[in-house]
Amino acid sequence: MPDKVHCAHILVKTEQEAKTILERLNKSEKFANIAQQVSLCPSGKRGGDLGTFGRGKMVREFETASFALQKGQISGIVKTKYGYHIIKRLE
């Protein structure tokens, strides 16, 4: 298990918005472009890039999903107290 991961994410308010994003990703739209267009997180301006973070730095659900991904893999919908996330492991 890695000690740190480099991830990007897209944050939206509703599960339906998150489902729509997954559909767009399945049609080969670029993750960073979608993040810039719709993410509620300030990281959206950077294509959702959160940089590198270690364990204990993110809310539990987000951390668990992030560390479970392989490089280049995109998560399903991850619900946290902030909303609904789609996470991509960058490194």
What CATH number should be reported for the domain holding residue 60?
3.10.50.40
Count of domains observed in the chain = 1
| pLDDT at 91 > cutoff 70 | yes
Q: How far apart are CA 89 and CA 77, in angstroms?
A: 14
- Torsion on CA atoms 16, 70, 61, 84, rounded to nearest 10: -20
Q: What is the pLDDT of residues 26-82, one digit of tens each?
A: 999 999 999 999 999 999 999 999 999 999 999 999 999 999 999 999 999 999 999
pTM here is 0.95
Half-sphere exposure of residue 58, counting CA atoms within 13 Å on the CB side?
26
Q: What is the pLDDT of residue 1?
A: 58
- Domain ranges, residue 41: 4-89
- Interacting residues of 27 by C-beta distance below 8 A, sequence separation 6+: none
